[in-house]
Amino acid sequence: MRIFTVFLLFFVLFCSGCNKLVTVSGKVTYPDGTPVTGNNVIFTTETYEARGLLKEDGTYLLTSIKPGDGVPSGIYTVYFDNPVLSLPPDFKMKRIVNEKYCSPSTSGLTCEVKGKTEFNFTVEKP
């Protein structure tokens, strides 16, 4: 029981210094202003990842654990993927954005979250 109490105290003290989650939203469009829809926008670091589904108007709201809860402050790389969880092996997926935006190493998109923020992105079509 004593070990559990010590662990619980340590956990509470450790998490009191943790970053609080910050609301992040925005809009993703093509250069002509048409909204990008149906993809996930992903904000990632080496240790953290949050996603937001692009709605019909191209807007998103990031989710870490529960819908719309946001992300900790920090610098993020941004990329996109399709929200399909499983596909048949012969399925050919049509890209919604240029392939370079589908990987954190090639997207070229970064942002710094400091507080409640709106990040808008313009991406090229495939």
What is the CATH T-level fold of the domain 17-85+93-122, as seen in this structure?
A: Immunoglobulin-like (2.60.40)
Q: If you write DSSP's letter for every residue of the chain in order, what string do you get?
A: -HHHHHHHHHHHHHHHTSPPEE-EEEEEE-TTSPBP-SPEEEEE-SS-EEEEE--TTSEEE-BSSSTT--EESEEEEEEEE-------TT--PPPSS-GGGGSTTT--EEEEE-SSEE--EE----
Residue of higher predicted confidence among 126 and 109: 109
The structure's pTM equals 0.78
pLDDT tens-digit readout, 6-31 = 343 333 334 434 559 999 999 999 99
